[in-house]
Structure formats: C-alpha cells, structure tokens
Amino acid sequence: MTRAFLVVMDSVGIGGAPDAADFFNNGVPDTGADTFGHIFDACARGEAEEGRSGPLSLPVLGSLGLLHAADLASGGCRVGLRATQPTGTWGAATEVSRGKDTPSGHWELAGLPVPWDWTYFPDTVPAFPEDLTAKVCEIAGTDGILANCHGSGTVMVERFGDEHVRTGQPICYTSADSVFQIAAHEEHFGLDRLYDVCERLAPILHDMKVGRVIARPFLGESGNYARTPNRHDYAILPPKPVLTNWVQDAGRAVHAIGKIGDIFSMTGIDSVVKGADDALMDHLHDAVETMPEGSFTFANFVEFDSLYGHRRDVSGYARHLEWFDDGIGRLLPKLRDGDLLLITADHGNDPTWSGTDHTRERVPVLIAGRGAGPLGQVGFADVAASIAAHLGVPSQGPGRSFL
C-alpha cells in the first residue's frame, strides 16, 4: 500500500485564471492578478526587504516545478524561470466553482465543484439584514453588534476592540467571501461563549448558503490587541462525498492538519491537529514519519493568506514562502518509497493587488514521488481523482487522474 499527502499553501496562486475578469477587488477586476509572480518580481526589484533580502529563494519548490508551473499558468517567461529542469511533476490547475474562497477551492480540490451560488453580503454599511442582526443579538444576549461591514479582521479588532470590551457587543463583519465573522475578546466576552454563538448561528447562515461562520477570538488591551490561534470555522457541510469520504469509506486513515477539519466539517476525517503554521509544519513532519500505509493526510497552511495576503504584506509573504520551502526541503527525505506528496493552493491573494480580498487565479500542482515532467493544465477536481488513483480507492467526482 502507499500513502498520500495533500498540502495546500493557502492563497499561493500563480495567475492566469481565464475568468479573472469576472471577479473583483475593491471594484477592480482580478485580471492580471498573480500572487506568486508579483511577489517574485517585487523581490527581484529589491522591494521586499523587510526581514529578508534579495531575489526570492525557493530551491526546493523550484526543483519541484513551481517556477515552471507559474510560467505555464500566466503565459509569462520571467528571467531565470527555466534555468533548472524540475525533478518533480508539475502543472497548473484551473477552478470551475464560482467562488474564490476557501470552501470553493478546497471542496473542488477534494473532488466536488460547488453545486450552487454562494450568498455574499453587500459592501455597504450595514452589510447584514436587520433580521440576521436581531438573531445575532438574541443568541449573544446583547443589545447590538459592532462593525456590520466589510473589513479585514485585524482592522476590525483595532477599530472596534475598545468599544467591544466596553459594551460586550460582538464585532461582526464580512468580506468578498461568503462568510460571517465574529471577533470577540477571549476574556471579556469568553471563548466558549463565542464558539457557542457561532455554532448556533451557523445553521441559519448555512440555510442562506453562506459558506462559513468564523469565530475570531483575540486577546490584549487597548492599542495592543492580537488575534489568537483559537479561530474556529463552522463551514457548510459538503452535499456529496468528497475525497476524505472516499478514502475513509475504503477503510483507510484520514488525518487533517490545520483548518481542514473546519472546512469539511470533519466529514471523512479521523483525526485533526491545529496550530500556527510553524507548529503545523512539525505536525506534517510527524505525519510523514508516523501515518500508516494506505493513509491520507490533508494539510492547510493558512498564514500565507491570513497574515500576509489579506494584509498586503509582500515582504512577509516572501518570508513565509522561503520558510515553507525550507520545511518542505527537510520533509522530502523522510518520504517512504511509494509515498505521494502533492503541493497546491486553493485560490490567490495577491499582496500587490487592489483591496484586501482573495484574487481569482490558477494554482500550482507540484508532486514529489511520481518522477519528473509536466502535467500541463489540469482541473482542481483532477487533484482528488489523482490522489484516489494513487491510493487505489474509487473516485466519485468529475475529475480525471493525471498520474
């Protein structure tokens, strides 16, 4: 038997989405958005020098084919991209789901293109309908909510944190994604109370086809608030079996790392570990060393997106790419004969782009354990079909294996 490891670099898009013009950031179409390419260019120009310096250095991901995949996705030809022949199997994947959010990308990577249109809240103040706001107040036991608008989570906490602590009202906000987020202080509001409010609201939002209700806890004092790792996503349940179910139904172990358990509402998942990305890298190394034959491990590294993409931090994003590259470099020698490691992404979040939201892009498909060579253009759902083929379990989705 063999093992498979699917690792999502959250938001590391590589440009070139054919329908990018249909998606917007702050009123600007995503045409030309290219998360990896624009970070690569900024580093080459010496414009990403905070905490690092010089051209982007990704020897491991580059050897797996990231630079070639980026070139394929966007049709570009940056200097030096083809200097070294990849030792991995590489390609670029295109999404068909009508969304550029976390559930859409992950569901389709797991073999299920989203079968409906998500509900999005308007970029107005207030953003939420009165009956929904009233329901939040009823469940939370408060006489109002704060924010009620589109915004970045860190900005929302900075802007409304003091008023939240003073009044006890939850900070409720959304984004260009199909999401309802609640930020609350772990001590003044209570972490368990925050979870309870989100859990009770989730069925109402899911009936509206809002993809996720997210608890966003924070700590600290005025002028020094910081979000904690205790985020919890209450995601709508996939309406059909996905890759995790296919593998579990075949009697194999399925292990989740990061927010995968939240994204799939634990469907088809036997065990899960969470934490910051540095801890998740340790967990991924542990999984490679300990998961049994025939198992499937599904990991998400969210800080590319949450700490650097949304905050439009080019230097930070570049640093995290180089950190991730080092971690994967230390991981590759631990793989067993017959293992498959597939690294990809779920959408883009170009830190050079207008606004603060995700960007519509193709994503890389980089494979260690299956030789070297190009895959060409593939679909998100082909990832699930390929992992199922590698593990020898039936595929139940529309994708085709590229292995």
Binding site listing: 10, 305, 310, 346-347, 358
What's at 401, amino acid-wise? S
Backbone angles phi, psi at 237, to 5 degrees: -75, 130
Residues sharing a CB contact under 8 Å with residue 21, sequence separation 6 or more, in sequence order: 29, 30, 31
Nearest CA to 8 among 396, 380, 390?
380
C-alpha–C-alpha distance, residues 146 and 156, integer Å: 9
Nearest CA to 164 among 180, 149, 142?
142
C-alpha–C-alpha distance, residues 308 and 159, integer Å: 19
Nearest CA to 299 among 250, 244, 378, 247?
244
Compute the C-alpha angle 219/220/225, nearest 5°: 85
**Strand, coil or helix: 171:** strand
Backbone angles phi, psi at 177, to 5 degrees: -80, 165
How many Cα neighbours within 13 Å face the side chain of 342?
Answer: 31
**Strand, coil or helix: 287:** helix
Name the DSSP letter for residue 20: G
Residue positions forming the annotated binding site for Mn(2+): 10, 305, 310, 346-347, 358
Compute the Cα dihedral for 296, 96, 86, 329 and give only its sign: negative
Q: Are 297 and 258 contacting, i.e. CB atoms less than 8 angstroms apart?
A: no
